[in-house]
């Protein structure tokens, strides 16, 4: 459940399809995600290039040797544009790969943010099929011998992290079929790897330090994600202190009401169950104003998810990712702590999308 | 008398002079103004054009540290993958650059880029695309610069039909860049779409590289594994390469403008010298009253400075207006077809404009320097004596100085080019001119002495008067000699050029009908099938297709044109000027232009490496030919050799020979129908092509003629002025002549005769000097600027005509001056001096 930016591009791509189809009559065909579909690992860890959009999304908490908390995220989006599929050029944009990376540093108060965008080809950027291996030039997310490697070299910061799964993958929804709206057509195939054990090095402004921590990987692919009435979503992925994991989201309409919701809860003993829309409630609390996109983001929440109830508080208020240079989107994506009656029960990431401009800000609408 | 008082009096007397003689003032100001206007105009034109050119180059290069580029046809795209992976490279931006044929005729430069990386290097150019990235990815999408959209009359959402090989493809205009982002005509596509749509699959034309911090561009350049014909250039090299294309042309214009300014300075000199001569008594009186020498001198120079400032300001304003007018109507290259950009703004800082005004002051003060010194030095007692007109040239430099100058000038004519410019040639012209001017009095004296004494009294009087006053006349004669001799030199050079060009066109255009796709299109071409088809058309005796492309032989120089065509006969169908006596028969032959020989040392018999198909191939230079079409170097090789090496059979142009009864129009129609290429195919009869080429030649030299005419005009202004001054100074003499019985028209006729004779002497000397200068122009300046030789041809009729015009206008101005001077009653004129 990730990636406003990606979704923006997906929408753009969709509109591109409509326009191209209207022109050429060659309706580009993207495979649909149906309720009968299921995630099958390890094969599904790789790319699904036929689908319109796909992402691998790593978020987590890090701790420096001096026990300072930091948040980090690394995302690779894969977009399949609608037009130009029969272009034999090796440089044709058959697949676009977009990488976003950010480090939340409370001492700095703002995100360190970097991005890369490239078309797949000539070995400069690729998302492999059959196994998790994506890269855009020297930014890499790759699985090898059961562990993931994440490498980022951005302006002002860099990290090289190894992430080891502590348990089996978490298939969201029904065996990975994750519905995103009232219609079963709005859906993705979606699994998560919670409770990833992290170690590695974090470089900020040229100073390197060793870090450890815990992270979360989402891998999701779809051809039709949000329906026309939805404007954005609120999403959390929490590594619980007792070893369990919780993913919960809700899709909002233009009035800010929940149009749909879903989630997955794994308890400490490994028992996993999908949460029904009625079991999930997001109640916004304190709002913070972002000057970058002139939007008010609720950065504190009261959340009810199945049997759990907790308060969310951010590592810092300003965790806005401004990817207008590559994808045209601005969203809040940040490290949060979850507490029940003041007691820390988990740490993870909160994603808030569609609070600034409407989600449909891809430029093909201008045509 | 205290010092300040003396200066004040001197200045007051001169100020009164300025008031009383406004005409003299106006003439001097106009002379300076014209010279400055030309200098400023040409300079501003050139600077504005260069600034525009530089801006376009920089906008296209952006912040890239290096640009890897090949000639036409580019290089394999694998090089991009290789370079992008290098750790020294921060950003690698692949580019396809093509002149795309438009279905409606003409071409449009199109850049295929990866907008995801290009934006990082060329933010100014691509920022406006940021919100249209996905739209631009669609294969038929194109963005247009504002000017391209305006000229092609297509807006956002419109369709642009382009011709690629035999197909017409319709592109959708998805974005029009805002005004001011890129001044030229440009289309922008996604690189994948461009490769596919424009027939460039697998090829790139350019890679812009931004290097990682700390990487030295020069050193990194040297480590790149580039295929033959591909080089890596820094933006400075690239800009230098582009501007060197037009440098010789620009410097020539600058020099012409300077000649006009020099003539103006001479005029100031002449007018000051004569004016001071007339005021000798006045000055002597001042000196007798106690005004000191330096004060007289100061007053003369102050007056000149004032004239210079007024003329400079007027001229700068005029020059600015001229530059703006020319840029608006002809474009930055004065219609020579060297730049492509419209509506170029005049680039001029206030400081620069002030400098031109300062130049006017400097020229005027320099012109007045010698007369001021003379006026100050004149002994008051002698000058106070009535009737002593004195001579402005009396302390003439020794003839040895003139001879030394002439010798140095002749020596300089043989100097080598300096950084590609004929600086020694220009120095030679300046020295020869100066030496020639110093010899004017001597020459004029000899010429007049050599004339037989006429029998009739009036002509005898004319000759006697001139012989007596030769030193006075020499000054005004010098001004006319400077401008006239330069005009003669230019006329001979341009005529030689035109004559050689005319004959050359006959040699290089042997066929009856020429066809070409383009101009200079990268996407349209003719195939071997077309060649076969052409040969079978009724009325066609024979068709010969050729391939023309550009290759880069040195990164700092503009690319060289490579032409592959059938080479038949001993001269290979080329206007050869040199031939190798014994070329290596093991190597294929290459025939190079004179530019290749001069710039790349490709002398007959030398081995020449040419990048064909990405590999350096060895050729032997079998001959050198004359190419007036391209000054940066041209190589002609056998077409079959090229096709074997490059592995492709594509043709860009060709000639068709007709059967005896066939008409050009009918065959042209048949070709048009058979080839089905549309308006991109240009068919021109050889005669039309020749006519058009000569018209283009004349257009390019029109500006030269205009500059020369202004220079001569300034010279004539000087002559007329000198006569007027002399006539006024001689009013007493005229009065005497009237007393002894001459009618007024006899006096006027006498003056006209003097004018004509002086004009004739000036014209004769100017012709002589001009002929010598033209040798330097033809054999040194032209040769070193453009790298081609000319056959020296003297346009006798034309020269005779302009010499006649000079004599006539000289007589006319003298006549007018005489009428003016004899208008007063003779009695009053006599009284004035007594």
Write the pLDDT tens digit of every residue in B718-742.
666 666 666 766 777 777 877 887 7
Q: Do B85 and A123 touch (CB under 8 A)?
A: yes
Is the CB of residue B190 less than 8 Å from the CB of residue B115? Answer: yes
- From B123, which residue of chain A is nearest by alpha-carbon distance? A325
| pLDDT of res. A299 | 93
Could you give the CA distance from residue B435 to residue B425 in angstroms, rounded to a whole number? 15
Q: Do A12 and B134 touch (CB under 8 A)?
A: yes
pLDDT tens digits, residue range A284-311? Answer: 999 999 888 888 999 999 999 999 999 9
pLDDT band at A241 (very low <50, low <70, confident <90, very high): very high
Total CB pairs under 8 A between chain A and B: 87
Q: Do A83 and B137 touch (CB under 8 A)?
A: yes
Of B130, B132, B195, the CB nearest to A91: B195
Of A182-186, B225-229, B794-798, the one with minimum mean pLDDT is B225-229
Average of per-residue pLDDT values in chain B = 80
List Cβ neighbours of B676 (8 Å cut-off, separation of 6 or more): B166
Q: How far is A125 from chain B (nearest CA, A)?
A: 10
pLDDT band at A231 (very low <50, low <70, confident <90, very high): confident
Q: Total domain count for chain A?
A: 1
Q: What is the DSSP letter of B227?
A: P
Does residue A101 form part of some domain?
yes
Is A295 an interface residue toward B (CB < 8 Å)?
no
| pLDDT of res. B5 | 65
Return the residue in B94, B111, B137, B191 with the most chain A beta carbons within 10 A, the one to mutate for interface testing: B137
Could you give the CA distance from residue B149 to residue B405 in angstroms, rounded to a whole number? 58
Of B174, B192, B201, the CB nearest to A93: B192
Is pLDDT above 90 for A151? yes
List Cβ neighbours of B210 (8 Å cut-off, separation of 6 or more): B63, B64, B65, B89, B90, B91, B92, B93, B120, B121
Helix/strand/coil percent split, chain A, to 5: 10, 55, 40
Closest CA to B780 of B414, B521, B496: B414
Q: Do B174 and A367 touch (CB under 8 A)?
A: yes
CA–chain centroid gap for B586, Å, is: 43
Q: What is the mean pLDDT of residues B681-705?
A: 77
Is the CB of residue B363 less than 8 Å from the CB of residue B35? Answer: yes
Of A58-72, A81-95, B311-325, B457-471, the one with minimum mean pLDDT is B457-471
Is A12 an interface residue toward B (CB < 8 Å)?
yes
A81 chain-B contacts, CB cut-off 8 A: 134, 137-138
Is A267 an interface residue toward B (CB < 8 Å)?
no
Could you give the CA distance from residue B581 to residue B596 in angstroms, rounded to a whole number? 18
Q: Which domain holds residue A103?
A: 4-360
Top-confidence residue, B756 or A302: A302
The backbone torsions φ and ψ at residue B572, rounded to the nearest 5 degrees and listed phi first, read: 60, 25
A325 chain-B contacts, CB cut-off 8 A: 119, 130
pLDDT above 70 covers a percentage of chain B that reads 81
SS (H, E, C) B467-487: HHCHHHHHHHHHHHHHHHHHH
Of B81, B130, B132, the CB nearest to A325: B130
pLDDT band at B823 (very low <50, low <70, confident <90, very high): low
Closest CA to B326 of B305, B350, B342: B342
Dump the DSSP string for B95-145: EEEEEEEETTSSEEEEEEE-HHHHHHH-HHHHGGGGGGHHHHTSTTEEEE-
Q: How far is A366 from chain B (nearest CA, A)?
A: 9
Does residue A365 form part of some domain?
no
Q: Do A92 and B193 touch (CB under 8 A)?
A: yes
Is pLDDT above 70 for A326? no
Q: Do B196 and A88 touch (CB under 8 A)?
A: yes
Average of per-residue pLDDT values in chain A = 84
Tell me if residue A65 falls in helix, strand or coil.
coil
CA–chain centroid gap for B236, Å, is: 23
Is the CB of residue A202 less than 8 Å from the CB of residue A64? Answer: yes
Is A137 an interface residue toward B (CB < 8 Å)?
yes
Is A114 an interface residue toward B (CB < 8 Å)?
no
| pLDDT of res. A236 | 94
Is A18 an interface residue toward B (CB < 8 Å)?
no
Could you give the CA distance from residue A176 to residue B789 in angstroms, rounded to a whole number? 81
Q: Do A91 and B157 touch (CB under 8 A)?
A: no
B81 chain-A contacts, CB cut-off 8 A: 122-124
| pLDDT of res. B519 | 54
pLDDT tens digits, residue range B201-237? Answer: 888 988 988 888 778 888 888 888 888 778 888 877 7
Q: Do A87 and B192 touch (CB under 8 A)?
A: yes
Residue A339 belongs to what H/E stretch?
strand A329-340
Is pLDDT above 70 for B514? yes
Does residue A367 form part of some domain?
no
Q: Do B116 and A119 touch (CB under 8 A)?
A: yes
Does residue A351 form part of some domain?
yes
* CATH code, domain with A219: 2.40.370.10
Q: How far is B558 from chain A (nearest CA, A)?
A: 29
Helix/strand/coil percent split, chain B, to 5: 60, 15, 25
| pLDDT of res. B119 | 78
Could you give the CA distance from residue A187 to residue A223 in angstroms, rounded to a whole number? 8
Is A357 an interface residue toward B (CB < 8 Å)?
no
Is A155 an interface residue toward B (CB < 8 Å)?
no
Question: Would you call B15 exposed, middle or buried from its count of C-beta atoms within 10 A (0-12, 13-18, 19+)?
Answer: middle
pLDDT tens digits, residue range A86-121? Answer: 888 889 888 989 899 999 888 888 888 888 888 998
| pLDDT of res. A202 | 93
pLDDT band at B711 (very low <50, low <70, confident <90, very high): low
Q: What is the mean pLDDT of residues B32-38?
A: 82
| pLDDT of res. A4 | 39
Q: Do B193 and A363 touch (CB under 8 A)?
A: no
Is pLDDT above 80 for B282? no
- From B80, which residue of chain A is nearest by alpha-carbon distance? A122
Tell me if residue B225 falls in helix, strand or coil.
coil
| pLDDT of res. A142 | 95
Does residue A298 form part of some domain?
yes
Q: Do A92 and B195 touch (CB under 8 A)?
A: yes
Q: Do B116 and A117 touch (CB under 8 A)?
A: yes
Question: Is the Cα dihedral A12, A14, A18, A20 positive or negative?
Answer: positive
Q: How far is A128 from chain B (nearest CA, A)?
A: 18
Does residue A366 form part of some domain?
no
Is A325 an interface residue toward B (CB < 8 Å)?
yes
The backbone torsions φ and ψ at residue B386, rounded to the nearest 5 degrees and listed phi first, read: -65, 150
A140 chain-B contacts, CB cut-off 8 A: none
Can you give the pTM of this predicted structure?
0.69
Q: How far is B89 from chain A (nearest CA, A)?
A: 11
Of B84, B119, B193, the CB nearest to A124: B84
Q: Do B114 and A91 touch (CB under 8 A)?
A: yes
Of A88, A91, A363, the CB nearest to B94: A91
């Amino acid at each position: 459940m990730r990636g406003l930016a990606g979704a923006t591009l997906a929408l753009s791509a969709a509109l591109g399809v409509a326009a191209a189809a209207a022109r050429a009559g060659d309706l580009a065909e993207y495979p649909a995600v149906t309720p009968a579909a299921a995630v099958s690992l390890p094969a599904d860890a790789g790319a699904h290039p036929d689908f319109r959009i796909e992402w691998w999304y790593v978020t987590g908490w890090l701790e420096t040797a001096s026990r300072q908390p930091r948040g980090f995220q690394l995302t690779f989006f894969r977009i399949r544009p609608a037009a130009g599929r029969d272009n034999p050029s090796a440089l044709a944009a058959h697949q676009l790969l977009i990488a976003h990376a950010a480090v939340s540093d409370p001492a700095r108060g703002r995100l360190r943010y970097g991005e890369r965008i490239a078309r797949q080809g000539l070995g400069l950027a690729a998302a492999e099929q059959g196994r998790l291996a994506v890269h855009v030039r020297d930014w890499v997310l790759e699985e090898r011998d059961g562990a993931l490697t994440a490498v980022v070299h951005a302006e002002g910061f860099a990290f090289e992290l190894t992430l080891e799964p502590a348990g089996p993958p978490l298939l969201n929804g029904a065996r990975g079929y994750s519905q995103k709206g009232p219609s079963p057509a709005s859906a993705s195939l979606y699994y998560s790897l919670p409770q990833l054990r992290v170690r590695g090095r974090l470089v900020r402004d040229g100073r390197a330090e060793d870090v450890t921590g815990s992270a979360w990987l989402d891998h999701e692919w779809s051809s039709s994600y949000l329906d026309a009435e939805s404007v954005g979503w609120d999403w959390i992925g929490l590594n619980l202190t007792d070893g369990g994991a919780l993913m919960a989201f809700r899709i909002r309409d233009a009035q800010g009401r929940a149009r749909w919701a879903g989630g997955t809860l794994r308890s400490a003993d490994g028992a996993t169950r999908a949460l029904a829309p009625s079991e999930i409630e997001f109640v916004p609390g304190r709002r913070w104003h972002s000057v970058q996109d002139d939007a008010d983001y609720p950065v504190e929440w009261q959340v009810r998810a199945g049997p759990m109830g907790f308060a969310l508080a951010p590592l810092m208020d300003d965790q806005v990712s401004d990817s207008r240079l590559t994808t045209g989107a601005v969203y809040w994506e940040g490290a949060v702590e979850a507490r029940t009656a003041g007691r820390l029960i988990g740490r993870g990431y909160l994603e808030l999308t569609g609070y600034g401009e409407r989600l449909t800000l891809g430029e093909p609408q201008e045509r | 008398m205290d010092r300040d008082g003396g200066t004040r009096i001197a200045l007051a007397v001169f100020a009164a002079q300025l008031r009383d003689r406004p005409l003299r003032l106006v003439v001097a100001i106009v002379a300076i103004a014209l010279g400055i206007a030309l200098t400023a105009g040409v300079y501003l034109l050139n600077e504005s054009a260069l600034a525009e050119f530089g801006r376009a180059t920089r906008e296209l290069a952006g912040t890239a540290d290096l640009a890897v580029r090949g000639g036409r046809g580019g290089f394999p795209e694998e090089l991009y993958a290789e370079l992008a992976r290098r750790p020294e490279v921060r950003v690698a931006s692949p580019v396809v650059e093509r002149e795309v044929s438009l279905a409606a005729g003409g071409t449009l430069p199109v850049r295929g880029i990866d907008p995801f990386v290009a934006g990082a290097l060329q933010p100014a150019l691509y920022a406006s695309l940021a919100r249209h990235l996905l739209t631009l990815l669609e294969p038929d999408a194109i963005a247009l610069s504002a000017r391209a959209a305006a000229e092609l009359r297509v807006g956002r959402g419109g369709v642009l039909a382009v011709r690629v090989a035999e197909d017409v493809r319709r592109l959708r205009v998805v974005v029009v860049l805002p005004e001011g982002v890129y001044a030229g005509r440009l289309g922008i596509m996604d690189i994948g779409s461009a490769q596919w749509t424009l027939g460039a699959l697998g090829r790139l034309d350019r890679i812009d590289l931004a290097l990682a911090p700390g990487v030295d561009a020069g050193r990194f350049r040297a480590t790149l594994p580039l295929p033959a014909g591909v080089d890596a250039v820094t933006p400075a090299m690239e800009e230098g390469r582009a501007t060197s294309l037009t440098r010789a042309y620009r410097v020539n214009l600058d020099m012409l403008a300077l000649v006009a300014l020099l003539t103006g300075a001479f005029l100031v000199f002449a007018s000051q010298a004569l004016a001071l001569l007339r005021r000798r008594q006045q000055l002597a009186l001042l000196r007798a009253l106690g005004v000191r020498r330096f004060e007289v001198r100061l007053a003369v120079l102050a007056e000149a400075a004032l004239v210079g400032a007024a003329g400079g300001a007027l001229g700068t304003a005029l020059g600015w207006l001229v530059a703006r007018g020319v840029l608006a109507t002809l474009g930055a290259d004065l219609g020579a077809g060297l730049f492509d950009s419209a509506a170029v703004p005049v680039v001029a800082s206030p400081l620069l404009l002030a400098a031109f005004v300062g130049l006017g002051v400097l020229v005027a003060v320099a012109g007045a320097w010698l007369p001021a010194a003379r006026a100050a030095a004149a002994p008051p007692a002698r000058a106070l004596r009535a009737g002593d007109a004195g001579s402005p040239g009396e302390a003439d430099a020794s003839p040895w100085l003139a001879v030394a100058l002439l010798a140095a000038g002749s020596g300089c004519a043989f100097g080598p080019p300096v950084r590609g410019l004929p600086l020694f040639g220009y120095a030679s012209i300046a020295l020869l001119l100066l030496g020639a001017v110093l010899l004017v009095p001597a020459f004029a004296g000899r010429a007049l002495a050599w004339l037989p004494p006429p029998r009739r009294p009036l002509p005898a009087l004319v000759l006697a008067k001139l012989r007596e006053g030769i030193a006075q006349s020499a000054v005004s004669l010098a001004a006319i000699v400077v401008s006239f001799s330069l005009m003669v030199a230019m006329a001979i050079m341009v005529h030689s050029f035109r004559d050689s060009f005319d004959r050359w066109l006959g040699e290089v255009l042997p066929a009856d009908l020429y066809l070409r796709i383009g101009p200079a299109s990268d996407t349209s071409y003719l195939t071997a099938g077309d060649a076969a088809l052409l040969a079978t058309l009724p009325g066609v005796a024979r068709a010969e297709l050729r391939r023309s492309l550009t290759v880069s032989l040195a990164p700092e120089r503009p690319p060289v044109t490579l032409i592959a065509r059938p080479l038949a006969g001993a001269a290979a169908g080329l206007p050869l000027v040199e031939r190798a006596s014994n070329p290596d028969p093991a190597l294929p032959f290459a025939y190079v232009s004179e530019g290749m020989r001069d710039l790349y040392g490709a002398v007959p018999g030398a081995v020449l490496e040419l990048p064909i198909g990405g590999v350096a191939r060895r050729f032997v230079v079998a001959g050198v030919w004359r190419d007036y079409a391209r000054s940066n170097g041209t190589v002609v090789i056998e077409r079959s050799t090229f096709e074997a090496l490059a592995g492709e059979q594509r043709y860009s142009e060709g000639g068709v020979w007709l059967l005896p009864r066939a008409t050009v129009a009918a065959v042209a129609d048949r070709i048009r129908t058979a080839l089905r290429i549309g308006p991109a195919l240009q068919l021109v009869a050889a005669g039309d092509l020749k006519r058009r080429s000569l018209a283009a030649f004349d257009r390019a030299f029109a500006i030269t003629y205009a500059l020369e005419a202004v220079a001569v005009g300034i010279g004539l202004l000087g002559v007329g002025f000198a006569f007027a001054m002399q006539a006024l100074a001689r009013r007493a003499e005229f009065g005497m002549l009237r007393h002894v019985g001459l009618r007024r028209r006899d006096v006027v006729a006498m003056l006209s005769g003097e004018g004509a004779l002086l004009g004739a002497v000036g014209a004769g000397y100017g012709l002589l000097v001009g002929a010598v200068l033209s040798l330097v122009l033809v054999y040194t300046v032209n040769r070193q600027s453009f790298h081609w030789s000319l056959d020296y041809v003297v346009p006798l009729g034309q020269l005779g005509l302009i010499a006649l015009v000079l004599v006539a206008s000289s007589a006319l101005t003298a006549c007018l001056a005489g009428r003016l001077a004899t208008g007063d009653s003779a009695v009053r004129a006599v009284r004035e001096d007594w």
